[in-house]
């Protein structure tokens, strides 16, 4: 099992190094778009799965409620949106 975990980690590192960098899609506390570059949708700060080998930390959902307040739900989703704010295709 350890071997599988290692190869998955190596693979994701390889994929990340090949990918083109784009600007992180997440927002900072001031609701400004994050300026970190990332090969994924979210930078390491905003992507809870960035170092997924160890413990995945839940982050606060970046969605807003109907009243325009920040959602307080915690999420482990890559898009930083809780189950309420994750749009299903
Ligand atoms: Zn970011
Ligand atoms: Zn939410």
pLDDT of residue 87: 80
Instruction: Note the ligand closest to the C-alpha atom of 74.
Output: 2
Q: Which residues of the chain have pLDDT under 70?
A: 1-6, 9-19, 50-56, 88-89
The number of the ligand nearest the C-alpha atom of 41 reads 1
Cβ neighbours, 10 Å, residue 22: 12
Domain residue ranges in the chain: 20-51, 54-89
Residue 54: Cβ within 10 Å count:
6
pLDDT tens digits, 24-39: 999 988 899 999 998 8
Query: What local confidence, expressed as pLDDT, does residue 4 receive?
Result: 67
Please say whether the beta carbons of 49 and 15 come within 8 A.
Answer: no
Measured in Å, residue 65 CA sits from the centre of ligand 2 at 7
Parallel, antiparallel or unpaired: strands 74-75 and 59-60: antiparallel
């Amino acid at each position: 099992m350890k071997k599988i975990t290692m190869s998955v980690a190596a693979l994701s590192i390889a994929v990340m190094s090949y990918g083109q960098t784009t600007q992180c899609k997440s927002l900072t506390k001031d609701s400004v778009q994050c300026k970190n570059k990332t090969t994924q949708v979210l930078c390491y700060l905003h992507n809870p799965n960035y170092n997924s080998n160890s413990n995945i930390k839940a982050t606060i959902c970046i969605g807003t409620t109907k009243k325009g307040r920040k959602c307080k739900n915690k999420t482990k989703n890559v898009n930083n949106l809780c189950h309420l704010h994750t749009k299903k295709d």
